[in-house]
């Protein structure tokens, strides 16, 4: 599988994401929306977006790894939050959590503010796509 980052010079320089990722080869894995639920469907870290973000990434990692991939195989993330301002106020801490899971790799991303999630205690949910090489899994 080959991965090419597509960041046109006429667009704003991407910080914390890539404008596009072109994939050649591999298997496509669709990642369902993950909130900060643990194995018992309880929200981890109520009222803490950073703690919830870490649990969400933990959940996504479990799915990707079971399919035979790694976090760096994720090419697209849609991030849904209840409070955009809370998310932005914690960007530095969220960035540290991101690097713990992804290293210096950034998939394509979009951020959406929404009213509510399935579980009222959830502050964040992330869905996405991964491309896993044929040799993996």
Give the pLDDT mean for 108-132: 97
pLDDT tens digit sequence for 58-115: 999 999 999 999 999 999 999 999 999 999 999 999 999 999 999 999 999 999 999 9
Strand partners, 132: 27
Measured CA to CA, the distance from residue 75 to residue 105 in angstroms comes to 10
Distance CA 55, CA 52 (A): 5
Structure confidence by residue, pLDDT tens digits, 15-53: 999 999 999 889 999 999 999 999 999 999 999 999 999
pTM of the model: 0.91
- Centre a 10 Å sphere on the Cβ of residue 38 and count the other Cβ atoms it contains: 11
pLDDT score recorded for residue 1 = 84
To the nearest 10°, report the CA torsion of 23, 29, 35, 37. Answer: -140
Query: Topology of 29-130 in CATH?
Result: 60s Ribosomal Protein L30; Chain: A; (3.30.1330)
- Domain definitions of the chain by residue range: 29-130
**Two tokens, residue 111:** 């951020």
């Amino acid at each position: 599988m080959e991965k090419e980052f597509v960041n046109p010079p006429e667009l704003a320089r991407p910080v914390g994401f890539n404008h596009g990722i072109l994939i050649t080869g591999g298997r496509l894995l669709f990642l369902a929306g993950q909130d900060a639920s643990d194995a018992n469907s309880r929200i981890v870290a109520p009222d803490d977006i950073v703690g919830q973000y870490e649990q969400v990434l933990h959940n996504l990692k479990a799915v990707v790894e079971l399919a035979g991939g790694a976090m760096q195989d994720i090419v697209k993330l849609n991030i849904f939050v209840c409070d955009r301002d809370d998310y932005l106020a914690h960007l530095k801490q969220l960035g540290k959590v991101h690097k713990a899971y992804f290293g210096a790799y950034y998939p394509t991303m979009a951020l959406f503010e929404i009213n509510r999630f399935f579980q009222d205690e959830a502050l964040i949910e992330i869905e996405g796509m991964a491309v896993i090489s044929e040799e993996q899994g």
